[in-house]
Structure 1
Amino acid sequence: MTGLLLAAALACAGPARAASAPKVPLLIGDTLDEQGKPRPMPAVKRKVLDAVAQELGVTFEPRTYPWARAERHALNGEALVFGLPKTADRLRALHYSDPATHNSLWVVTRSDATFPFNGLEDLRGKTISTVRGYSYGPEFDAARGKLFRTDDDISSRGTRLTRLMLKRVDAVLLFQPEGLTAKDLENSIRLFMAPRLPAIGAAANAGFSVLPKPLITDSGQFFAIARDRDDGIIDRINLALARIHKREEDARRQHAPN
Structure 2
Amino acid sequence: MTGIFLAAVLYSGVQAHAAAPPVVPVVPLLIGDTLDEQGKPRPMPAVKRKVLDAVAQELGVTFEPRTYPWARAERYALDGVGLVFGLPKTADRLRALHYSDTASHNSLWLVTRSDATFPFSRLEDLRGKTVGTVRGYSYGEDFDKARGTLFRTDEDISSRGTRLTRLMLKRVDVVLLFQPDGLTAKDLEDDLRTFMAPRLPAIGTAANAGFSVLPKPLTTDSGQFFAIARSKDDGIIDRINAALARIRKREEDARRQRPPN
Q: State the TM-score, normalizing by the size of structure 2.
A: 0.91
**Which structure 2 residues correspond to residues 101-250 of structure 1 after superposition, within 5 A?**
101-250=104-253
> Unaligned regions of 5+ residues in structure 2, if any?
1-19
Contact 1:18–1:58 (8 Å) recurs in 2: no
Distance 2:210 2:68 in 1: 32
For the Cα contact (< 8 Å) 1:111–1:206, is it kept in 2? yes
Cα 1:19–1:177 shift into 2, 3 Å = farther
Cα deviation code 1:42-94 (max 9, x no counterpart): 00000000000000000000000000000000001011000000011000000
- When the two chains are superposed, the root-mean-square deviation of aligned CA atoms in Å is 1.2
Unaligned runs of 5+ in 1: 1-16
- Tell whether 2:83 aligns with 1:83: no
Give the Cα separation in 2 of the matches to 1:34 and 1:202.
19
Q: Equivalents in 2 of 1:222, 1:99: separation in Å?
A: 5
Instruction: Give the aligned partner of residue 97 of structure 1.
Output: 100
CA shift digits 1:213-249 (9 cap, x unpaired):
0000110000000000001110000000000011111
After superposition, give the CA deviation of every residue in 1:184-220 in whole Å (9 maximum; x if it has no partner).
1111101000000000000000000000000001100
Is 1:21 the equivalent of 2:24?
yes
The CA distance in 2 between the partners of 1:19 and 1:142, in whole Å, is 49
Q: CA deviation at 1:250?
A: 1.2
Specify the alignment match of 1:60 in structure 2: 63
Rounded to whole Å, the distance in 2 between the matches of 1:120 and 1:152 is: 18
The 1:206–1:48 alpha-carbon spacing in structure 2 relative to 1, beyond 3 Å, is: same
Tell me the SS of whatever aligns to 1:180. Answer: coil
C-alpha contact (below 8 Å) 1:110/1:209 kept by paired residues: yes
Cα distance in 2, alignment partners of residues 118 and 230 from structure 1:
39
Q: Distance in 2 between matches of 1:254 and 1:124?
A: 48
Cα shift at 1:21: 1.0
Cα pair 1:82 1:224 within 8 Å, conserved: yes
**Which of structure 1's runs of 4+ aligned residues deviate more than 3 A?**
none
Q: Which amino acid aligns with 1:60?
A: F
Residue correspondences, number: 242
Distance change in 2, residues 1:256/1:86 (3 Å): farther
Following TM superposition, by how much is the alpha carbon of 1:254 offset from its aligned partner in structure 2, in angstroms? 1.4
Task: Indicate conservation of the 8 Å contact 1:109/1:210, yes or no.
Answer: yes
Q: Displacement of 1:256 after TM fit?
A: 4.9
Contact 1:18-1:57 at 8 Å conserved across structures: no
1:153 partner amino acid: D
CA distance in 2, matches of 1:58, 1:18: 14
Q: Name the % identity.
A: 85
TM value normalised by structure 1 = 0.92
Aligned-partner Cα distance in 1 for 2:83–2:150: 34
Secondary structure (helix, strand or coil) at the match of 2:155 reads strand
Indicate the residue corresponding to 2:3 in structure 1. Answer: none
Letter in 2 for 1:141: D
How many Å separate the matches in 1 of 2:74 and 2:228? 10
Structure 2 Cα separation of the partners of residues 254 and 152 of structure 1: 46
Higher-Rg member (1/2): 2
Shift, 1:18, TM fit: 8.2
